[in-house]
């Protein structure tokens, strides 16, 4: 069983290292059972993103919240991880003491996170769901996390639906923290090619339709456009937070924090 | 004399009535709502199964929450493809009952390729009544007996043209409200007709929590005023969800299909055509 470590970052890191190891084994088993290869660049990236990099990402998102005066100690708080994938970030937040609900359309993926949570007795549950059609009750969560998930919703109206649902499930005054690839990045974060991420999604899909492996359809925003979208959805105190170390380059990812009006 | 404020209508078209009549014609497609409904079912941990799987596979009936998908493709066969794409995206299977008029080989192939099962939506009795083939002096029993023979031939023809069938389903024709095609198979040994079951008769063996049927109204209302999302929230099960894809398509698409059907030559049943559109109610069996 993992002991909740609250606000001590080193203890949290050590505790999550064990979670990460178990998750890594489960992900490898998931791929093996499905006969899919992990020994590819994409496979290795998936494994790293969901294990070692999850701690860095979780730490970063918590830092962003703290910088805005948001919660520092997650103990006793409820968090929804929207688009949780294998649930790595959900497990990190649960290790930090939060009660986490991970939502993802692919149930076979979050089943991996659910097995880890059950094995290590972490307060993380996982449900199948779509951001645009979220069936969670109103005003349920203190924090909502959109980590690399909103970009996969392409139609603008659907993105707005997703954000309005996110607003709805937050308690008044609740926090949203988002991380998404930026349209201003020098190269497309998915393919490493120049320019394709800067053209409209339909054109990008047409340009890359013969590419193997196929690139997912995504809508990327500039930081300003993402802020405006959040405001239109009803969020307040919207702020884009720049974290990239190479300040002379446009950031690959953009991070926003916002609040539901109290 | 016009009907101004405070005056009784003289029975002529009022703006409200005209708006109601035009509403469906001008309506946009509502497939987004259909996808939302399916997503809601999955989010509420419903097991979504096709009607044929529910009837014929005991494993499909296991589970606390079950949503059974059935589509009656009454008009506009291309509309079925849109619904099938949504279900494929969500990795769901459903059962599609097609009439002769919607039995487009390419559409049937696509529905099966998407993982769905296809059944025959028969209307042998009502078609015969509409054709004036009901001799009142001979009585209803004689008509049913004769029409049953025709149905058997029709099912065999349908299988010949489109491959094996597991089930059939009676089509309801509002033009002949007093006659039900279901009478043809009620009390009959369905296996003698070359299929395992009739969808309506088969479902009578199970206690349904709710039977949802879509309506053709532009507002997307469901029959009996049922609210599918509320049923899903309450965990009602099993729910049979019967939808007609042509009710969800846009009015413009429907009219385009009607114009094509009216202006192009009617193809033989089972014949491939370049344009997907509504065909004739006639089967080769009844035509012969």
- How do residues B159-201 score in pLDDT, each as one tens digit? 999 999 999 999 999 888 888 999 999 999 999 999 999 999 9
**Is the confidence at residue B139, as pLDDT, over 90?**
no
- CB contact under 8 Å between A134 and B43, yes or no, is yes
Show which of residues 198-257 on chain B sit within 8 Å of chain A, judged by CB atoms: 232-233
CA geometry: angle at B260 spanning B254 and B263, to 5°? 140
A189-216: burial string, b at 16+ Cβ within 10 Å, e else = bbeeeeebbeeeeeebbeebeeeeeebe
When pLDDT is averaged across residues A128-149 and rounded to a whole number, the result is 96
Tally the C-alpha atoms within 13 A of residue B185's C-alpha that lie toward its C-beta. Answer: 28
When pLDDT is averaged across residues A246-254 and rounded to a whole number, the result is 78
- B213: Cβ contacts below 8 Å, ≥ 6 apart: B222, B223, B242, B243
Residues of B in contact with A133 (CB under 8 A): 35-36, 39-40, 43
- A225: Cβ contacts below 8 Å, ≥ 6 apart: A183
Tens digits of per-residue pLDDT, A168-181? 999 999 999 999 99
Distance from CA of A128 to the nearest CA of B (A): 5
Instruction: Tell me the pTM.
Output: 0.88
CA geometry: angle at B61 spanning B60 and B62, to 5°? 90
Distance from CA of B50 to the nearest CA of A (A): 20
Q: Closest Cα partner for B73 from B44, B46, B99, B47?
A: B99
* pLDDT at residue B68, as a whole number: 98
3-state secondary structure of A117: helix
Q: Scanning every residue of chain A, which has its alpha carbon at the shortest distance from the alpha carbon of B90?
A: A105
Q: Closest Cα partner for A181 from A170, A189, A193, A191?
A: A189
- pLDDT category at A129 given cuts 50, 70, 90 is very high
Would you call B88 an interface residue with chain A, using a CB distance cutoff of 8 Å? no
Would you call B21 an interface residue with chain A, using a CB distance cutoff of 8 Å? no
Would you call A181 an interface residue with chain B, using a CB distance cutoff of 8 Å? no
Share of chain B above pLDDT 90, in %: 65
Residues of A in contact with B45 (CB under 8 A): 127-128
- Would you say B88 and B114 are in contact if contact means Cβ atoms under 8 Å apart? yes
| CATH class entry, domain B34-287 | alpha beta
Q: How far apart are CA B7 and CA A45, in angstroms?
A: 74
Tens digits of per-residue pLDDT, A1-57? 444 445 577 888 888 999 999 999 999 999 999 988 888 887 888 888 888 889 999
Residue A196 in domain: no
**Is the confidence at residue A108, as pLDDT, over 80?**
yes
Average of per-residue pLDDT values in chain B: 89
A5 vs B98, more confident: B98
* pLDDT at residue A147, as a whole number: 95
* pLDDT at residue B4, as a whole number: 39
When pLDDT is averaged across residues B51-59 and rounded to a whole number, the result is 97
Least confident of A16-20, A124-128, B25-29, B70-74: B25-29
Residues of A in contact with B28 (CB under 8 A): none
Task: Tell me if ipTM is over 0.90.
Answer: no
Q: Closest Cα partner for A153 from A93, A206, A91, A229?
A: A229
- Would you say B39 and A133 are in contact if contact means Cβ atoms under 8 Å apart? yes
Would you call A129 an interface residue with chain B, using a CB distance cutoff of 8 Å? yes
Average of per-residue pLDDT values in chain A: 90
Query: Domain-by-domain residue ranges, chain B?
Result: 34-287
Instruction: Name the domain count of chain A.
Output: 1
Q: Closest Cα partner for A242 from A226, A231, A260?
A: A226
Tens digits of per-residue pLDDT, B225-275? 999 999 999 999 999 999 999 999 988 888 898 898 888 888 888 888 888
Residue A201 in domain: no
**Is the confidence at residue A155, as pLDDT, over 50?**
yes
B180 vs A198, more confident: B180
B28 vs A121, more confident: A121
- Would you say B86 and B31 are in contact if contact means Cβ atoms under 8 Å apart? yes
**Is the confidence at residue B134, as pLDDT, over 50?**
yes
CA geometry: angle at A127 spanning B233 and B68, to 5°? 50
For residue A114, the domain's CATH number is 3.40.50.150
Residue A2 in domain: no
- Would you say B199 and B122 are in contact if contact means Cβ atoms under 8 Å apart? no
Residues of B in contact with A134 (CB under 8 A): 43
When pLDDT is averaged across residues B11-31 and rounded to a whole number, the result is 72
Residue A79 in domain: yes
- pLDDT category at A203 given cuts 50, 70, 90 is confident
Q: How far apart are CA B16 and CA B3, in angstroms?
A: 13
Residue A208 in domain: no
Structure letter (DSSP) for residue B222:
B
Q: Give the pairing of strands A99-104 and B239-243.
A: unpaired
* pLDDT at residue B2, as a whole number: 38
3-state secondary structure of A63: helix
**Is the confidence at residue A163, as pLDDT, over 80?**
yes
Q: Scanning every residue of chain A, which has its alpha carbon at the shortest distance from the alpha carbon of B91?
A: A106
**Is the confidence at residue A86, as pLDDT, over 50?**
yes
Q: Give DSSP secondary structure letters for B44-111.
A: TTPEEEEHHHHHH-GGGG-SS-EEEEEEEE-S-HHHHHHHHHHHHHTT---EEEE-GGG--HHHHHHH
**Is the confidence at residue B9, as pLDDT, over 60?**
no
- Give the start-end residues of each E strand in chain B: 47-50, 66-73, 95-98, 117-122, 167-170, 197-198, 210-213, 239-243
Residue A194 in domain: no
- Would you say A220 and A180 are in contact if contact means Cβ atoms under 8 Å apart? yes
When pLDDT is averaged across residues A196-206 and rounded to a whole number, the result is 86
- A15: Cβ contacts below 8 Å, ≥ 6 apart: A2, A3, A5, A95
* pLDDT at residue B150, as a whole number: 94
Q: How far apart are CA A148 and CA A172, in angstroms?
A: 24
Could you count the other beta carbons within 10 Å of the beta carbon of residue A241?
Answer: 17
Domain with A47 in it: 9-182+221-259
- pLDDT category at B8 given cuts 50, 70, 90 is very low
* pLDDT at residue B15, as a whole number: 66
Q: What is the CA radius of gyration of chain B?
A: 20
| Helix and strand numbers, DSSP H then E, in chain B | 11, 8
Handedness of CA B40, B67, B34, B109 (dihedral sign): positive
């Amino acid at each position: 069983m993992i002991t909740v470590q609250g606000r001590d970052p080193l203890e949290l890191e050590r505790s999550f290292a064990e979670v990460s190891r178990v998750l890594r084994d489960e992900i490898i088993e998931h791929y093996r059972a499905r006969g899919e290869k992990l020994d590819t660049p994409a496979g290795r990236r998936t494994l790293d993103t969901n294990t070692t990099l999850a701690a860095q990402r979780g730490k970063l998102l918590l830092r962003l919240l703290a910088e805005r005066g948001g919660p520092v100690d997650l103990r006793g708080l409820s968090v929804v991880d929207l688009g949780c994938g294998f649930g790595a970030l959900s497990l990190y937040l649960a290790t930090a003491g939060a009660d986490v609900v991970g939502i993802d359309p692919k149930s076979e993926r979050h089943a991996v996170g659910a097995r880890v949570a059950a094995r290590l007795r972490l307060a993380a549950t996982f449900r199948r769901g779509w951001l645009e059609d979220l069936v969670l009750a109103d005003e349920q969560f203190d924090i909502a996390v959109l980590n690399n998930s909103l970009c996969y919703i392409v139609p603008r109206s659907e993105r707005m639906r997703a954000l309005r649902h996110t607003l709805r499930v937050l308690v008044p005054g609740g926090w949203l923290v988002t991380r998404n690839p930026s349209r201003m990045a020098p190269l497309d974060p998915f393919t490493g090619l120049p320019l394709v991420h800067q053209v409209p999604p339909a054109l990008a899909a047409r340009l890359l339709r013969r590419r193997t492996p196929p690139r997912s359809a995504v809508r990327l925003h500039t930081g300003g456009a993402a802020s405006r979208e959040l405001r239109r959805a009803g969020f307040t105190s919207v702020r884009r937070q720049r974290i990239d170390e190479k300040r002379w380059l446009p950031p690959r990812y953009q991070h926003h924090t916002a609040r539901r009006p109290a | 004399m016009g009907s101004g404020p405070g005056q009784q209508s003289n029975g002529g078209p009022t703006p409200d009535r005209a708006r109601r009549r035009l509403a469906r014609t001008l309506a946009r497609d509502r497939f987004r709502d259909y996808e939302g409904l399916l997503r809601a079912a999955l989010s509420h941990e419903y097991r979504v199964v096709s009607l044929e799987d529910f009837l014929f596979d005991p494993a499909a009936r296991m589970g606390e929450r079950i949503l059974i998908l059935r589509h009656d493709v009454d008009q506009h066969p291309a509309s079925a493809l849109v619904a099938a794409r949504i279900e494929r995206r969500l990795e769901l299977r459903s059962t599609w009952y097609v009439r002769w008029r919607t039995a487009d080989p390419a559409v049937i192939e696509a529905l099966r390729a998407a993982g769905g099962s296809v059944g025959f939506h028969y209307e042998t009795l009502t078609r015969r009544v509409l054709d004036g083939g009901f001799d009142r002096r001979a009585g209803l029993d004689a008509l049913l007996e004769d029409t049953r023979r025709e149905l058997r031939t029709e099912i065999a023809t349908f299988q010949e043209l489109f491959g094996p069938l597991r089930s059939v389903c009676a089509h309801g024709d509002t033009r002949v409200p007093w006659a039900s095609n279901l009478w043809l198979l009620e009390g009959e040994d369905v296996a003698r007709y070359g299929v395992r079951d009739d969808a309506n008769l088969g479902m009578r063996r199970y206690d349904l929590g709710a039977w949802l049927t879509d309506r053709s109204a532009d507002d997307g209302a469901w029959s009996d005023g049922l609210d599918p999302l509320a049923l899903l929230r309450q965990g009602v099960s099993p729910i049979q969800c019967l939808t007609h894809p042509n009710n969800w398509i846009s009015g413009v698409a429907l009219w385009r299909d009607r114009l094509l059907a009216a202006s192009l030559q009617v193809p033989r049943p089972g014949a491939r055509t370049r344009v997907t559109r509504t065909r004739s109610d006639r089967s080769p069996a009844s035509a012969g």
